[in-house]
């Protein structure tokens, strides 16, 4: 197999990133959030629960949780010990319980029971950092996300791993990865990029062993057949 010559300058990265997005859009035309929810608040709860947990497990837990706690007020007044047991399978249940109950109280007190429609406000909620805020804003308020000056790209474990393997970023830090991606990805693709990389990370470029033979990005990837 011939040696790959992949340029890594800023312009080259941007051009390669655009091609990555184009090919992944063709490969995963329906890429999007797989968490199951019916309200903006349930979306926020699901995303908080998804930290260090699979979406499949979150959906299993919330199928019961969302029947038991139907309003934000239900969450705000929940018994912490009982709530911990309700979400225990998602892991880190004590911290998640604190964050969700406190977030419910803040949403009621400061935002009239409505999920904020700006990054700045979302980031004031307990348990909400940039990844969660980007996901919630992009799904709950897509028009606000499209123009919010603080909006960006949600970097989860798949986005982190694939961005590095593809040579699009030089850092392993999620915040730095986001900043580097924002420099080379057109804003119109920010939101969808997360879900495209998640789909590809689950199906092909897995953490343990990448299936490079089956990868549509093989010729664009400096890590091809090396991981």
Show which residues are catalytic. 131, 156
**68 burial class (0-12, 13-18, 19+ CB within 10 angstroms)?**
exposed
Rounded CA-CA distance 142/144 in Å is 5
DSSP symbol at 212: G
Rounded CA-CA distance 18/102 in Å is 40
Buried-state track 30-67, b at ≥16 Cβ within 10 A, e below 16: ebebbbebeebbbbbbbbbbbbebebeebbebbeebbe
Rounded CA-CA distance 51/61 in Å is 14
User: Can you list the pairs that 84-87 forms with residues at least 24 positions away whose Cβ atoms lie under 8 Å?
Assistant: 86/61, 87/49, 87/61
Rounded CA-CA distance 139/36 in Å is 12
Half-sphere exposure for 8 (CA within 13 Å, toward CB) = 14
């Amino acid at each position: 197999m011939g040696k790959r010559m992949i340029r890594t300058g800023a312009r080259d990265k941007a051009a390669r990133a655009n091609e990555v997005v184009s090919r992944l859009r063709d490969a995963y035309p329906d890429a999007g959030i797989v968490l199951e929810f019916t309200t903006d608040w349930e979306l926020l709860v699901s995303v908080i629960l998804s930290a260090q947990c699979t979406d499949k497990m979150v959906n299993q837990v919330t199928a019961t949780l969302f029947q038991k706690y139907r309003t934000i007020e239900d969450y705000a007044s929940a018994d912490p010990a009982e709530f911990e047991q309700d979400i225990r399978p998602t892991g880190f249940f004590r911290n998640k319980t604190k964050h969700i109950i406190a977030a419910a109280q803040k949403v009621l007190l400061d935002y009239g029971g409505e999920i904020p429609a700006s990054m700045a406000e979302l980031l004031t909620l307990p348990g909400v950092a940039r990844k969660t805020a980007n996901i919630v804003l992009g799904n709950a308020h897509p028009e606000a996300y499209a123009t919010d000056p603080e909006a960006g790209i949600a970097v989860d474990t798949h986005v982190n791993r694939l961005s590095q393997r593809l040579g699009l970023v030089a850092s392993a830090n999620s915040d730095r990865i986001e900043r580097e991606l924002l420099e080379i990805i057109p804003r119109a693709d920010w939101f969808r990029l997360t879900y495209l990389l998640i789909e590809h990370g689950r199906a092909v470029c897995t953490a343990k062993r990448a299936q490079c033979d089956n990868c549509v990005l093989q010729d664009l990837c400096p890590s091809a057949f090396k991981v």
